[in-house]
Each structure stands twice: as structure tokens, then as C-alpha cells.
Amino acid sequence: MSTEPAASTLARPRTRPAWHVATVAETRRETPTAVRLVLDVPTWPGSEAGAHLDLRLTAPDGYQASRSYSVAASTPAAPGSPGQVVLAVDEVPDGEVSPFLVRDVRPGDQLELHGPLGAFFVWRPGQSTRPVQLVAGGSGVVPLYAMAAAHAAAADETPFRLLYSVRTPDDVWFADELAALAGPTLALDLVYTRRAPEGTADVVGRLTRESFAARVLPAAERPRVYVCGSTGFVETVAGWLQELGHAAGDIHTERFGGLT
């Protein structure tokens, strides 16, 4: 039973994490509660799809706060062109860092980044031909969007499927980008928990094991599964996947925090 977590892809060379200074190039509303930050990072070495970084803020008196954020998109620095990193941040009510990033950050502001981090929750083109099932809850779509984009950029033909649970149509992150990626090699399936788009027959409500099972690749196809979202969402989905027959070693998870 005890499937070892895939440790076979380990020995590959890896970009060592390092400190970087980032300058905010652009801030954009992503959803009513989230912002997209486009950062210029002159020293960014590039990162794999699914990786994250630590973002550190320092107050004038030296007080510091660090939090992890997934890389939605990035371009490595090259001679004559600075690297770029795109993050997307949801405001956690009463949080210390996320309300600052969502409300207060402006173009020109400088932040410190440490990364890239996380070599396990990543997707690499050509790594395997087994189909891939992505499961996102809310902000958890960030690293999965990065994987879907990398998959398209590499013209990789591995079948990809993304199940994305959001509250309402206004809460879809990377809505335009995902719509553009959807097609023959990416099946996109949005689940609305509070309100569906007007004029559609989409059922509204939280996922159940049955509605979930009907919308993901069956265990018989042996997909590699990546699940990301709040801790409660990931716990629930990972439990269902195992009950549906997916091997523990095929289920990669990233828990963003919180309880629900």
C-alpha cells in the first residue's frame, strides 16, 4: 500500500534559492479580493511551474514579516532584460501581509524575495506522459495556472484537466488566460460554490465526493494529481482522491493555510 512519494526525479540540477530585490512594475485587480503583482527582478534565475518564493517585508524600525507566494509566471533575467515574476495575492481578512500587498503596494515599491523554492510541487514538460489532473480551490489556482501555462508553452501533449472551485464568476483568477489555454490539451472545469454565471445551467454548491468524482480523471487512467488551496480544501480533496482509488504517491498537495 505504502506508495513511496516519487523520489525518482530528484537528482536533477536545481536552481539554488537566493535573495532578490524586486521592484513593483504593475498592480492589477485580479478579483474583488485579490491583486496581481508584476515584479521586475533583475536577478531572477527563472523557476519551474508550481514553484513558490518567500516574500519579505521590512518596516522602518527593522521589524520583518515573511510569507510564501506561488509564482504565477516568471521570465528569467537575461543580458539586457530584467527577469520578471508575477504573483497573485488574496486578502486574508485581518492578515498581516496580504492586506498590505492587496491594498497598499504601488508601482515602484521594492520588496525582497527569496527563491525559487519547492522542487516537489512542480510540473516539468516531458517528465511523464501520464495525464495530469489539477484541482484548485480559490487562490490555490496560482501554481496550477503556472503548470497549465507551462504545458501550453512547451506544446506538451500530455492531457491536462483543471477543476477549479470558486465562489462566483467574479472570483476566477487568471480568467482570460485560462479561457485562452482551454482547448484540446486543457479541459477547464469551473465549479461555482455561491453563484454561477447568469444564463447558465451550472449547478451552484460546494463540491461533494460524487460531483467531484464526475469531474476529474478516473483513477483507472492513473493521472498525476496536483491539489492546491486552503488547508481544509486540500484535506477534503486529497481524502476523496484516495477514496476514489488514486494512489497516495500520485497526489501532490500544496496547502496555503487557514482552515476552510
Partner 1 sequence: MSFATRGFSGRRRERDDRLPPGQTLVQDWPVLSAGPTPQIDTGDWALTVRDETGTEHRWSWDELLALGVEDVTVDIHCVTHWSRLGMEWRGVSLDKVFEDVESEHEFVMAHSYGGYTTNVPLEDLLDGKAWVAVEADGAPLDPEHGGPARLLVPHLYFWKSAKWLRGFTMMPDNEPGFWEQYGYHIYGDPWKEERYW
Ligand X SMILES: Cc1cc2nc3c(=O)[nH]c(=O)nc-3n(C[C@H](O)[C@H](O)[C@H](O)COP(=O)(O)OP(=O)(O)OC[C@H]3O[C@@H](n4cnc5c(N)ncnc54)[C@H](O)[C@@H]3O)c2cc1C
Site residues (vs ligand X, CB under 6 A): 52, 67-70, 88-90, 92, 94-98, 139, 142, 230, 254, 256-258
- Give the count of residues interacting with partner 1 (CB under 8 A): 53
Q: Is residue 137 at the binding interface for partner 1, with CB under 8 A as the rule?
A: no
Q: Is residue 111 at the binding interface for partner 1, with CB under 8 A as the rule?
A: yes
- Least Å distance between CB 147 and ligand X? 13
From 45, 100, 185, 196, residue interacting with partner 1 (rule: CB under 8 A): 100
User: Stretches 7-15, 38-46, 133-141, 171-179: which one binds partner 1 (CB under 8 A)?
Assistant: 7-15
C-beta of 86 vs 217, nearer to ligand X? 86
Which residues on adjacent β-strands are paired with residue 29?
A: 35
| Residue of 99, 23, 35, 97 lying closest to 66 (CA atoms) | 97
Q: Is residue 121 at the binding interface for partner 1, with CB under 8 A as the rule?
A: yes
Q: Is residue 56 at the binding interface for partner 1, with CB under 8 A as the rule?
A: yes
- Least Å distance between CB 21 and partner 1? 8
Q: What is the distance between the alpha carbons of residues 232 and 250, in angstroms, rounded to a whole number?
A: 19
Q: Choose from partner 1, ligand X, none: what does 3 bind? Cβ within 5-8 Å by kind.
A: partner 1
- Least Å distance between CB 88 and partner 1? 18
Q: What is the 3-state secondary structure (H, E, C) of 70-109?
A: ECCEEECCECCECEEEEEEEECCCCCCCHHHHHHHCCCCC
Q: What is the distance between the alpha carbons of residues 64 and 122, in angstroms, rounded to a whole number?
A: 28
* Residue 100 burial by Cβ neighbours in a 10 Å radius (0-12, 13-18, 19+): middle
C-beta of 2 vs 201, nearer to partner 1? 2
From 10, 155, 201, 220, residue interacting with partner 1 (rule: CB under 8 A): 10
- Least Å distance between CB 119 and partner 1? 4
> Phi, psi (5° rounding) for residue 233?
-60, -45
Question: Which strands sit side by side in the sheet containing 160-166, from one edge to the other?
Answer: 186-192, 160-166, 132-137, 224-229, 251-255
